Structure 1
């Protein structure tokens, strides 16, 4: 299996298939930036496909499969350019792992990228509301009653991270900004090691992508996170890649920011929703291009 379905437009392309196999068809050193959220190793069920990395029964199997992806990503990214992945550390459960604790998923992924030749460029911690996590997961360590019973089992909430890796080499197309487009106060916010202002609910609509037959988890990456990564580490017209496109969030945002996008998604219902979302983004860009300001309108009227 290489490509099950695909859609290619002027500024974006979406492919349904195994991301490692599809990436093999992308030329060396051709992608300017990549941002994505990898599946969580053996934590959630995303689909019933044997090719779904999230369906690995053991963490070791997941990391072995993920190595193939990292190798392909290293090949296709331009020298000096960057890849950002969104992740969190994973809870260990008594029923599955024998103990209650945390797995260093973030650290394991960083190691895989470094072993493949990438440079660990930067990371930002993304704050999440621990009350929301407690209500969603009922995690023992976050329950208030636990602090009264035995606080040795209490813990903090689990934040998200945006980890950015850089491919060695000289970046031949500098990414430049002006004071007008990137003022000092905005840079200071982006440069903070902790982003406190990411809106967890600012995601693409996801209900129509649900497939109750084989899907147990869907959580689109926040558009705020995608927007910041693209703004920091790409130029207008650059190609942005998402090998786990899901419902198309990264490509959607890239199009709105006048970039080009390449997305790969295995699951059929996600892929169909990604097509709709990217079509919507392309339509918004076209409408925006056709808009004229009031000043331009008055000038045209006066000229006539």
Structure 2
């Protein structure tokens, strides 16, 4: 079941309408994690392009409401890219940071989300990353590292001297993923692709859900889009709530959430390698490469020595 308005009795809520209206229904300190990717104010079909000043004011109202509903141990993860106007870019994380700071939130990480696909620019380098600002409300925040560890680079490496000689030098569960995350963005051949043009990959949200919440906690996305944040929350035993203005995307979000509830939604597995060199290498070595034929004339020219004249040093 998916509720259409806020209800403490439902684990999944998809609200059609303005997120400020939705959050008015919610009690103070009722959400453990806010994770979202707001519109970038670049004129996408689902947004009205505003002046940068008006956009920041709009974001400020939403952020203030998010802080109100956040628990003292909670976190806000605000994923943004660049505002682009006449070829000039403005990093939105830099523009929005003062809003969070003014509200007393504490920045724990500025995470770089790197991906390989996107628009190809002709007058500047193509953008291949966006950022996630992770803020906490207090110093007493939840953080669970073990569920999001990634494989060690040298998993069998051991201490070679000292009192721990012979013991594994790294955590057997894996290493800290760091603050640069390489996760494919959702493009045409991605298993999660819907009609939404700027879709969150589930894997990106999963890391925040697993590390910043416990089972039974509630996750809010004020700009829900295709429903990814609610899907990621439900996938790991959390409650998911979100608001979305566009009716078409509300339909997509509810469909995906229903599929997740039924256990039939296909998502990209966490920590799946973006590129598998073994598979790629196998594909390359099993293909029969055609060796170009070399004519006798070409061969004779390549074998000839150029008639260089050696000039004595004193003559130069």
TM-score between both structures, scaled by the size of structure 1: 0.70
Aligned CA RMSD, in angstroms, stands at 2.6
1:70 lines up with 2:63 in the alignment: yes
Are 1:23 and 2:16 matched, yes or no? Answer: no
Deviations 1:110-165 (A, max 9, x none): 222112221112111122327x431xxxx223xxxxxxxxxxxx435341112111
Q: 5+ unaligned residues in a row in structure 2: which ranges?
A: 153-172, 265-316
Residue deviations 1:180-227 (CA, integer Å, cap 9, x gap): 885773663522x2123x0223563313x6xxxxxxxx2111112111
The equivalent of 1:292 in structure 2 is: none
Superposed counterparts of 1:1-304, under 5 Å = 6=5, 10-41=10-41, 43-47=42-46, 54-93=47-86, 100-129=87-116, 132-134=118-120, 139-141=121-123, 154-155=124-125, 157-168=127-138, 170-171=140-141, 174-176=142-144, 182=149, 185=152, 188-191=175-178, 193-196=179-182, 198-201=183-186, 202=190, 204-207=192-195, 218-284=197-263
Distance 1:81 1:56 in 2: 31
Q: Specify which structure has the higher proportion of helix.
A: 1
Larger Cα-atom Rg: 2
- CA change 1:17–1:254 in 2 (3 A) is same
The count of residues paired between Structure 1 and Structure 2 equals: 238
Distance in 2, Cα, partners of 1:11 & 1:259: 7
TM-score using structure 2 length: 0.68
Secondary structure, aligned partner of 1:190: coil
Contact 1:28–1:75, Cα closer than 8 Å, also in 2 = yes
Instruction: Quote the Cα distance in structure 1 between the aligned partners of 2:235 and 2:31.
Output: 18
Higher relative contact order (CA 8 A, sep 6+): 1
- Asked if structure 2 preserves the Cα contact closer than 8 Å seen for 1:204 and 1:249, the reply is no
Offset at residue 249 of structure 1 (A): 0.6
In structure 2, the CA distance between the partners of 1:203 and 1:165, relative to structure 1 (3 Å rule), is farther
Tell me the CA shift for residue 90 of structure 1.
2.8
